[in-house]
Chains A and B, each alone.
Chain A
Amino acid sequence: MADSQLELFEVFIRSKRGLDHKHVGSLHAQDHAQALEYARDCYTRRSEGVSIWVVKSSDICASQEEDSECFFDPSDDKPYRLAGYYRLPDPVDNM
């Protein structure tokens, strides 16, 4: 008989209030509730978090390598969206 493999979950942790949840790794669990508990046991042993998200890995839809040209390259020629594009006179430099 094939070995039962539990579902794969991705774990995101907010390390302190005011910060974003950050991806820290994955784990196996039966369901969301158990995944949260294991995330607590496996990824916050040193008080690394104040909040945990778990997401089924299979629910993540990721952009593909072959899409990256049409997804990301078009922003390359729009430097005017960045503050550094604009030269200001020295006296008002900190705008």
Chain B
Amino acid sequence: MSEDDLQQATLELALRLGDDALVLGQRLSEWVSNAPYLEEDIACANVALDFIGRARMYYGYAAELAADGRCEDDFAYLRSEREFHNYLILELPRGDFAFTQVRQLLVDLYNSGFLAQLCRSRDATLAAIAAKAMKETRYHLRRSREWVVRLGDGTEESKRRTQQALEELWGYTHELFEPDTLEQQLAQAGIGVDTRMLKAHWQQELEALAREAGLHLPQNDWAVRGGRTGYHTENLGHLLMELQSIHRAYPGCQW
């Protein structure tokens, strides 16, 4: 890949990672004033804030690479469903508290593997963002692990809900470990991460945790893919409509 192509690909990667963080942060922020008790409102807001902060760092870097006058908000507020390249699992509605915590577990575990690799990127900015995000993710994972064990090993109802969430989410996890050509090229160039390498450890950790929580990992009998190419579920349109509504209603304004 030429340097120019590489830069273009890095820009696309930064946008993908920014989209991932923004969409999940948006979903988590919906818990504020809706959590099971006050301490959780505060804790969920902290995690949401970490993801919004992460989105701003990735978009900020994308703006720097694009160097065409666009800023973080242009990426977040002025792109459409088809232009967002986040993973599908992140855009699914927040569901109940079990759904949210199981999704967090799946994603936090993925992120901890991913960020540990991205820390070593030869792209200094991505490596720095990853180093910061890694600290946050260690805490996120601690929380989501404990919640899934607590809910799995709680009441009959909490166990049922947690297992059900796992079933509903499982088919969306496969694409996390299926890098497209662009991501593979970036990994080869020492910039990105080959996520295929992360799956074995991810699966192993999950199996141990499921045992502890009295849950079982679902069969791999379905898979939905498409986030990285902008082929989304119907949920993303609604999410973006809400997220972008005020910004788009007053074109060109400062806030």
Contacts and interface: CB of A to CB of B under 8 A. Distances in A.
A40 B46 CA distance: 10
A40 B43 CA distance: 9
Contact of B46 (A27, A28, A30, A45): A45
Interface in A10-57: 27-30, 33-34, 37-38, 40-42, 45
B37 A37 contact: no
A37 B42 contact: no
A34 B146 contact: yes
B43 A38 contact: yes
B120 interface: no
Contacts of B142: 37
Contacts of B146: 33-34, 37
B39 interface: yes
Contacts of B143: 37
A45 B39 CA distance: 13
Contacts of A38: 39, 42-43
Given A33-B146, A34-B146, A28 B37 contact: yes
A41 B39 contact: yes
B46 A6 contact: no
Interface residues of A, number: 13
B37 A41 contact: no
Given A6-B37, A37-B142, A37-B143, A30 B43 contact: no
Given A37-B142, A37-B143, A42 B150 contact: no
A30 B150 contact: yes
Interface string B38-81: 11001100100000000000000000000000000000000000
Contacts of B46: 41, 45
Contacts of A28: 37-39
Interface string B145-183: 010001000000000000000000000000000000000
A32 B27 CA distance: 29
A40 to B, nearest CB: 8
A94 B150 CA distance: 60
A37 B150 contact: no
A28 B41 CA distance: 13
Nearest to A5: B37
A50 to B, nearest CB: 15
B44 to A, nearest CB: 9
A73 B143 CA distance: 48
Interface string B127-146: 00000000000010011001
A41 B150 contact: no
Given A40-B139, A42-B39, 9 more contacts: A28-B37, A28-B38, A30-B150, A37-B43, A37-B142, A37-B143, A41-B43, A42-B42, A42-B43
Top 4 A-B residue pairs of the complex, sorted by shortest distance between their CB atoms = A41-B43, A38-B39, A41-B42, A41-B46
